[in-house]
Amino acid sequence: MSTIKKFLLYITNNEETSRHEEWFDIAFFVINTLAVVLGGAYFIYIGEWQWIPFLIIEYTWAVDTMRHNRP
C-alpha cells in the first residue's frame, strides 16, 4: 500500500477497519479539501473574506462527522 494511501486512510478513518469503502473515504476527504482551498481562494478573489471561517468550520465538521459517526 502506498504511503499516500496510508496517510489518507489515517486522516479519514480512526478505526482499524473501515465500515465504508476506503476509496469513498479518500474521495470525500480530497473533494472536501479541494472545496475548502478553492472556495477560500475564490472568496479572497472576490473580497468576501468573512465567509472563509464558515468554509473552515463546515470542512472540519464534515471531516469530523466522517471520522466519528460511522453507520
Q: What single-letter amino acid sits at 71?
A: P
DSSP 19: S
The answer to whether residue 38 is domain-embedded is yes
Q: pLDDT per residue over 1-53, tens digit each?
A: 678 877 776 776 655 665 666 677 778 888 888 999 999 999 999 999 999 99
Domain membership of residue 32 (yes or no) is yes
Indicate the pTM of the whole model.
0.65
Tally of domains in the chain: 1
Nearest CA among 12, 7, 1, 10 for reference residue 66: 12
Query: Per the domain annotation, does 4 fall within a domain?
Result: no
Residue 24: domain span:
20-68
Q: Say if 6 falls within a structural domain.
A: no
Residue 9 lies in a domain: no
| 21 three-state secondary structure | coil
Q: What is the pLDDT of residues 44-69, one digit of tens each?
A: 999 999 999 998 888 888 877 776 65
Would residue 11 count as lying in a domain?
no
